[in-house]
């Protein structure tokens, strides 16, 4: 029913403007997040994508590359250079799975594990920059997850 309404609904000219587009609001907000994270993450020597990898590994200290890619929605061509740089900085190590040589297992080093304490500081700083309460962030996150689910289901 909603899909039919969207097809036949006339969209007013004012709603066609760039600043009215939901996709642009999400896009611009993603860039604002990246800019806000940069000085915070510079202090700990991580880029934003590297931080996301570390978040995954702080939850589970050892995972196959494929699982990390699935959780972050990153292909191996994007993920492999990130992992290489994290390995060069001594935060992770990559090893072949003894049971299946085709799989590469990523694990935290002691240095990478010790960095987990930085996560709370990073999250607090970005929370302050966002100017939202935890409840507001949970509400926004829920709406975005629902939106992402709807968009994924549409393709």
CATH of the domain at 101: 1.10.10.10
Structural domain count, the chain? 1
Q: Is residue 148 domain-resident?
A: no
Q: Is residue 69 domain-resident?
A: yes
Q: Is residue 90 domain-resident?
A: yes
Q: Which residues of the chain have pLDDT under 70?
A: 1-8
Q: Is residue 141 domain-resident?
A: no
Give residue 68's domain range.
Answer: 22-116
How much is the pLDDT for 1? 47
Q: Is residue 62 domain-resident?
A: yes
How much is the pLDDT for 76? 85
pLDDT per position as a tens digit, 10-26: 888 888 888 889 999 99
- CA 10, distance to chain mean position in Å, is 35
Q: Is residue 154 domain-resident?
A: no
Say what the pTM is: 0.84
Report the SS3 class of residue 97: coil
Please report the beta strands in 10-152, taking only residues with DSSP state E, as ranges in sequence order.
Answer: 62-64, 92-96, 104-108
Q: How far apart are CA 40 and CA 29, in angstroms?
A: 17
Q: How far apart are CA 11 and CA 85, in angstroms?
A: 47
User: Which among 49, 44, 58, 74 is positioned nearest to 107, based on CA atoms?
Assistant: 58
Q: Is residue 152 domain-resident?
A: no
How much is the pLDDT for 118? 87
pLDDT per position as a tens digit, 137-155: 999 999 999 999 999 999 9
Q: Which two tokens stand for residue 134?
A: 């935890």
Q: Is residue 11 domain-resident?
A: no
């Amino acid at each position: 029913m909603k899909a039919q309404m969207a097809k036949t609904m006339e969209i007013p000219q004012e709603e066609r403007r760039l600043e009215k587009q939901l996709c642009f609001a999400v896009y611009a907000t993603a860039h604002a997040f990246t800019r806000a994270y940069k000085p915070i993450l510079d202090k700990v020597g991580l880029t934003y994508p590297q931080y996301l990898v570390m978040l995954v590994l702080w939850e589970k200290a050892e995972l196959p590359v494929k699982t990390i890619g699935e959780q972050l929605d990153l292909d191996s061509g994007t993920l492999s250079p990130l992992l290489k740089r994290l390995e060069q900085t001594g935060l992770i190590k990559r090893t072949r799975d003894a049971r299946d040589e085709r799989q590469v297992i990523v694990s935290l080093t002691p240095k990478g594990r010790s960095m987990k304490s930085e996560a709370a500081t990073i999250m607090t700083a970005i929370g302050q920059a966002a100017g939202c309460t935890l409840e507001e962030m949970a509400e926004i996150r829920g709406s975005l997850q629902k939106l992402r689910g709807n968009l994924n289901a549409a393709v």
